Amino acid sequence: MEMQTEKKKVLLSIRDEKQYFPVKKTGFREEQKYVKANDGISLDIYEGETLGLVGESGCGKSTFGRTILQLYPQTDGEILYEKDGKMMNLKEQPAETMRGLRRELQLIFQDPYSSLNPRMTAGQIIGEGLTSHGLYKKGDPALREYVLEVMKKCGLDNYMFSRYPHQFSGGQRQRIGIARSLALKPRFVVCDEAVSALDVSIQSQILNLLLDLKEEAHLTYLFITHDLSVVKYISDRIGVMYLGNLVELAPTEGLFERTLHPYTKALLSAIPTTDVNAGKRDRILLEGDIPSPVSPPSGCKFHTRCYQCQEKCKKDVPMLEDKGNGHLVACHYPLES
Partner 1 sequence: MRKGRYLLKRLIYIIFVFFIISILMFTIYKALPGDPVKMMMGDNVKPEVYQQQYDIIREQLGLDDPIPVQYIKWITNMLRGDFGYSTEYRRPVKDVIGVPMRNTVLLNLFSMIIVFAVAVPLGITTAVRKNSIFDKFIQVITIVGYSVPSFVIALLAIYLFAIRIPLFPISGVKTAGFEGTGMAAFLDSAKHMILPVLVMSVGGIGSITRYVRASMIDALRMDYIKTARSKGLREKVVIYVHAFRNALVPVVTVTTWWLIGLFGGSVVIESIFLWDGLGKMMITGLSQRDFAVVLAMQMFYVILSLVGNVLMDIAYTLVDPRVRLEN
Q: Does 83 sit near partner 1 (CB under 8 A)?
A: no
For partner 1, the closer of residues 133 and 153 by Cβ is 133
Smallest gap from Cβ 238 to partner 1, in A, equals 24
Contact 213, 182 (CB under 8 A): yes
Smallest gap from Cβ 117 to partner 1, in A, equals 4
Distance CA 225, CA 240 (A): 10
For partner 1, the closer of residues 99 and 314 by Cβ is 99
Q: Count other Cβ atoms within 10 Å, centred on residue 132.
A: 14
- Please state the φ and ψ torsions of residue 13, each to the nearest 5 degrees: -120, 115
Q: Which stretch binds partner 1 (CB under 8 A): 52-60, 111-119, 221-229, 261-269?
A: 111-119
Give the chain's count of helices (H) and strands (E): 11, 12
Q: Does 109 sit near partner 1 (CB under 8 A)?
A: yes
Out of 100, 149, 295, 324, which residue is the one contacting partner 1 (CB under 8 A)?
100
Distances (CA, A) of 71 to 63, 176, 262: 9, 20, 32
Site for partner 1 in 154-193 (CB under 8 A): 164, 166, 177, 180-181, 184
∠ Cα 60 210 59 (to 5°)? 10
Query: What torsion, rounded to 10 degrees, do the Cα atoms 27, 30, 35, 38 define?
Result: 160
Q: Does 103 sit near partner 1 (CB under 8 A)?
A: yes
11 closest CA partner among 87, 65, 101 = 87
For partner 1, the closer of residues 63 and 304 by Cβ is 63
Out of 37, 38, 67, 102, which residue is the one contacting partner 1 (CB under 8 A)?
102
Q: Does 139 sit near partner 1 (CB under 8 A)?
A: no
Q: With both helix axes pointing from N to C terminus, report the angle between 170-183 and 122-132 in degrees, rounded to the nearest 10.
A: 20
For partner 1, the closer of residues 193 and 248 by Cβ is 193
- Give the interface with partner 1 as residue ranges (CB under 8 A): 66, 69, 71, 95, 99-103, 105-107, 109, 111, 114-119, 128-129, 132-133, 164, 166, 177, 180-181, 184
